[in-house]
Amino acid sequence: MLRINMEKHIFLCRHGQTEWNRDKKLQGQLDSPLTEKGRAQAAELAAKAGNWDIDLVVSSHLGRAKDTAAICATSLGQSHKVYEGFCERNFGEWQGKETSGLAAYQAFKEHRYTRPDLMPDNGGESANMVTERFMTTFHSLVNSETASRILIVSHGDAMACIARSFGEGRTIDNCGGMLLGWQNGKLHWQQWID
């Protein structure tokens, strides 16, 4: 296993808009395709990432993240690798349903970050579980790749769990994100990416 102690810059960004984003359905670990707007957002992200000196593009295994990452990787002339651990939070039985009709989800949503051990009562993941999964995947990524400037395309709620672990909270728009640093085995906050 390759171990590099140099600092790595991680540009963690959300995928482009999907049909279910547009229709206000909770995706979780289910999938729906990018809309035309989502593909345009991915192209805009790729153009922005052209200024970041990216040397590796990574995504979760879910189609919306893979498709966004593929658009970015092609534009940047970089390879694209998949790490399943960067997937969205599992919302259990709520996945695929319109959020407006889910009273239990609305109650969960109000406390999902302030109580990171709170789990959906239908088989999903807590914020702590998502953060632990992401941290394990970050460790795997940085210990196996020599790249120092990495674009990771992931998912809004999972990314919000990571941001809140740094005391940062806000809604993450499609193709928005955050810049994180990795040095000496630790992930640290740098800034939001708009």
Task: Write out pLDDT tens, residues 29-47.
Answer: 999 999 999 999 999 999 9
Is residue 88 annotated as a catalytic residue, yes or no?
yes
Q: How far is CA 48 from CA 12, 35, 44, 114, 123, in A?
A: 13, 20, 6, 32, 37
pLDDT over 80 (residue 22): yes
String of b and e for 163-191 (b: at least 16 CB within 10 Å)? bbbeeeeeebebbbbbebebeeeebeeee
Report helix, strand or coil for 68: helix
Q: What pLDDT does residue 4 have?
A: 46
What's the mean pLDDT in 42-60?
98
pLDDT over 70 (residue 5): no
Catalytic-role residue among 9, 88, 125, 155:
88
Is residue 111 annotated as a catalytic residue, yes or no?
no
Unique residue bearing structure tokens 């200024």: 51
DSSP H helices, the chain, are 19-22, 36-49, 63-76, 103-111, 127-144, 156-165
Kind of pairing between the strands at 177-183 and 8-14: antiparallel
Class of domain 8-193: alpha beta
Q: How confident is the prediction for the chain on average, in pLDDT?
A: 93
pLDDT over 80 (residue 96): yes
Kindly state the tokens that stand for 52.
């970041």
The DSSP element (H or E) to which 180 belongs, if any, is strand 177-183
- Phi, then psi, of 171 in degrees rounded to 5: -70, 140
In single-letter form, the type of residue at position 182 comes to: W
Extents of the domains making up the chain: 8-193
Kind of pairing between the strands at 56-59 and 149-154: parallel
Residues 61, 152, 133, 191: what is their CA dihedral angle, to the nearest 10 degrees? -150
Tens digit of pLDDT for each residue in 133-180? 999 999 999 999 999 999 999 999 999 999 999 999 888 999 999 999
pLDDT over 50 (residue 1): no
pTM for this structure?
0.94
- The alpha carbon of 82 is separated from its chain's Cα centroid by a whole number of angstroms, namely 12
Q: What pLDDT does residue 110 have?
A: 83
Catalytic-role residue among 9, 15, 80, 155:
15
pLDDT over 70 (residue 15): yes
Kind of pairing between the strands at 80-82 and 177-183: unpaired
Q: What pLDDT does residue 34 have?
A: 99
